[in-house]
Amino acid sequence: MKKILGIGNALVDILIRIDQESLLEQLNLPKGSMQLVNKLRSDEILMALKDVPHSLAAGGSAANTIHGLGMLGAQTGYIGVVGRDEFGKSFEQDMRDAGVEPYLIRSDTETGRAITLITPDSERTFATYLGAAVELSAFHLSDSLLSHEPKAMSHEAKESRIADRGSDIFSQFDYLHIEGYLVQNHNLIRKAIELAKANGLLVSLDLASYNVVEANLAFLEEIVAKQVHIIFANEEEAQAFTGYEPARALHHLAQFCEVAIVKTGSKGSMVKSRDVVSEIGIIPVRPVDTTGAGDLYAAGFLYGHSLGWPLSKCGQAGALLAGNIIEEVGAKMPAGRWEMVRKKVTG
């Protein structure tokens, strides 16, 4: 089986169910919003809810995809930055429990976390502190986990060791999956793709957010046209990238990369490679929460692609995972559901 390496913002999802919406007002968090907050504000919210039960899970777009691949039985790895704290330990353990090999850089900054408040109607309100996650840089890709290097080593000698270590990690994998939130750091993406290309990896990119696409359009056009093999986009992201509605956007994207996928929510998804288009439906579900649906779609698709499945079957695997995750709260499924999903995907 081919191996898949992911890179992204390493966050811990803190899921908290609240009984009364008035708590959101007290915390000055508009219902249904996603707000970026600093560490002080994040700590204040957690302190106010310290007596309310909560659960922790490794999060972030690429982390969700790689975790899903690990749960399917794929051989996977993940690169990200976490703090030297309990949240960082929790992130690492959650990934290891899924069979993922974490290549984590440790920072003195606290681990990023997404506090998720879930009201009785299942609507989610986010307060996200990015923390250490945003410190991931091009330097780290070469310097992965080299904190043990002697500080007295010369810059030239260390640069040599760094380059060797970066190639060591990438050479163990066949795919590199990049989350779109990272494309704001152009040097980081260029370095990741450089290492992937040097080591013969296929590059998969999930566009992740239409506003990130709009802000980095010229850069995305450059790398997609030259370096990306598989691209995932939802309707809004595809429109932001191409200016077209989903079907035409699919054809446009497929001009630049080997496989283009446009997800159209409740309508399903479309996949194109060369001149072949596959339309993928959805599975019947009772939606509870769409968080992680796109990430898990990518997990199912990449799992099938790594095994050489026809693209229509890859899309069906993606739809199966996406359909199951939206019946759960959060971007993780319980063990029992995973067992059922694995049997359907692999059977």
The predicted model gives 91-116 an average pLDDT of: 94
The predicted model gives 171-190 an average pLDDT of: 95
- What percentage of the chain carries pLDDT values higher than 70? 93
79-108: string of b/e by CB count within 10 Å (b at 16+)?
Answer: bbbbbebebbebbbebbeebbbbbbbbbbe
Task: Let me know how long the chain is.
Answer: 347
Confidence of residue 329 (pLDDT cuts 50, 70, 90): confident
The predicted model gives 312-324 an average pLDDT of: 97
**Chain-centroid distance, C-alpha 54:** 22
Estimate the crossing angle of helix 293-306 against helix 61-72, to 10 degrees.
50
Q: What residues make up the domain containing 211? A: 3-9+60-110+133-346
Q: Considering the chain, what is the average pLDDT of its residues?
A: 90
Q: Specify the amino acid at residue 156.
A: E
- Residue 234, pLDDT score: 94
- Res. 168: pLDDT tops 90: no
* Residue with the larger pLDDT of the pair 151 and 124: 124
Confidence of residue 347 (pLDDT cuts 50, 70, 90): confident
- Residue 165, pLDDT score: 58
- Res. 228: pLDDT tops 90: yes
Residues 241/233, Cβ–Cβ less than 8 Å = yes
C-alpha to C-alpha distances, 288 to 21, 120, 269, 324, 329, nearest whole angstrom = 18, 11, 20, 10, 7
- Residue 124, pLDDT score: 77
CA nearest 290: which of 323, 337, 336, 334? 323
Q: Is residue 304 part of a domain?
A: yes
User: Rounded to an integer, what distance in angstroms lies between the CA atom of residue 340 and that of residue 347?
Assistant: 10
Q: Is residue 78 part of a domain?
A: yes
Q: Is residue 339 part of a domain?
A: yes
Digit-coded pLDDT (tens) for 23-68 = 999 999 988 777 889 999 999 999 999 999 988 888 999 999 999 9
Q: Is residue 15 part of a domain?
A: no
Q: Considering its fold, how many domains does the chain have in total? A: 1
The predicted model gives 157-183 an average pLDDT of: 75
Digit-coded pLDDT (tens) for 208-222 = 888 889 999 999 999
Show the tokens assigned to 253: 């994207």
Residues 125/33, Cβ–Cβ less than 8 Å = yes
pTM of the model: 0.88
User: Domain of 224: which CATH number?
Assistant: 3.40.1190.20
Confidence of residue 144 (pLDDT cuts 50, 70, 90): very low
- Res. 184: pLDDT tops 70: yes
Q: Is residue 89 part of a domain?
A: yes
Digit-coded pLDDT (tens) for 229-268 = 999 999 999 999 999 999 999 999 999 999 999 999 889 9
- Res. 157: pLDDT tops 70: no
- Res. 156: pLDDT tops 60: no
- In terms of phi and psi (left: phi > 0; alpha: psi -120 to 50; beta: otherwise), the region of 198 is alpha
What's phi and psi for 95, nearest 5 deg? -70, -45
What's phi and psi for 271, nearest 5 deg? -125, 135
Q: Is residue 18 part of a domain?
A: no
The predicted model gives 258-287 an average pLDDT of: 95
- Res. 109: pLDDT tops 90: yes
Q: Is residue 195 part of a domain?
A: yes
Q: Is residue 146 part of a domain?
A: yes
Question: Angle CA(79)–CA(44)–CA(85) in degrees, nearest 5?
Answer: 35
- Residue 150, pLDDT score: 34
Pairing of β 276-280 and β 269-273:
antiparallel
Which residue spans within 92-229 are E strands per DSSP? 100-107, 112-118, 124-129, 175-179, 202-206
Q: If 0-12 CB within 10 Å is exposed, 13-18 middle and 19+ buried, where does residue 60 land?
A: buried
* Residue with the larger pLDDT of the pair 290 and 44: 44
Q: Specify the amino acid at residue 196.
A: A
The predicted model gives 152-161 an average pLDDT of: 42
- Residue 166, pLDDT score: 60
Digit-coded pLDDT (tens) for 19-30 = 889 999 999 998
